[in-house]
Amino acid sequence: MPQIDVYDTPELLAASAGELFVELAHQAIQDSGTFNALLSGGTTPRAVYRWLAEHGEMLDWHRVRLFFGDERCVPPEHPDSNYRMVRESMLDALDGLGVTTYRIPAEYPPAEAASRYETLLRSLFDGTPVFDLVLLGLGADAHTASLFPGTQAIHEEQAWVVAHYIESVAAWRITVTPPLLNNAKTVAFIVSGEGKAAAVEAVLRGGHAVDVYPAQVIQPLNGSLRWLLDIDAAKLILSG
């Protein structure tokens, strides 16, 4: 069963997610010398990244390697780029502290970008990567990363990174796949706002239907699953 924590405000949610990031980073750096984190895109985690930038002195950033769970098929300086969001909310403030960031090269054609990222991951890890932390968001349609309802990527068992066209957003996306996500030591969903309450209830309390609620496919094999919610996102599971 996942650990579910509910916070009174989006600010407390972001700070708690930041503290979890720091706690797991200290543990990983102590254990192996390196902290490998896979970051979520979207807007919710922006506050977490800003918190980490403001509390940057808490970490040996030169021992931190940042990766991305998904990316829009746009260049890195495009307003829709997840990399740009992370750069603006955190990386620019950490400049010079030695953090290593491996962005998805989404300026290439989708399939090539996915292939390049997978090749990069295979060059950095022996076997399937075991990320110390995977941060994930949740869409109102219960998608996570870019695993959208009705897409084959939900069931991908071989490739670590795929590119696919998403009808509901009329755009190509690149996403890591469940074999990678579920191999992590800790997977943490960060979900905020009333608009996500129905998706949270469906994923956590609804019937098992990964094609409809793709976030349900996130079941770490050996790691822990955490849900960090604010009270608005949790309102339908609190009343039950």
**Spatial separation of the C-alpha atoms in residues 137 and 192, rounded to whole Å:** 9
Among 36, 89, 144, 186, binds ligand 6PG (CB under 6 A): 144
CB 175 within 8 A of CB 147: yes
CB 13, min distance to ligand 6PG, A: 12
Among 20, 90, 145, 204, binds ligand 6PG (CB under 6 A): 145
| Residue 177 interacting with ligand 6PG (CB under 6 A) | no
Which stretches does DSSP call E strand in the chain? 3-7, 35-39, 64-68, 70-72, 100-101, 133-136, 161-166, 171-176, 186-191, 224-230
**Spatial separation of the C-alpha atoms in residues 158 and 179, rounded to whole Å:** 7
| Residue 137 interacting with ligand 6PG (CB under 6 A) | yes
Among 18, 129, 139, 223, binds ligand 6PG (CB under 6 A): 139
| Residue 230 interacting with ligand 6PG (CB under 6 A) | no
**Spatial separation of the C-alpha atoms in residues 218 and 210, rounded to whole Å:** 9
Among 36, 40, 186, 216, binds ligand 6PG (CB under 6 A): 40
**Phi, psi torsion values for 26, nearest 5 degrees:** -60, -40
Give the footprint of ligand 6PG on residues 62-121 (CB under 6 A). 69-70, 82
Contacts with ligand 6PG by CB under 6 A lie at 40-44, 69-70, 82, 137-139, 143-145
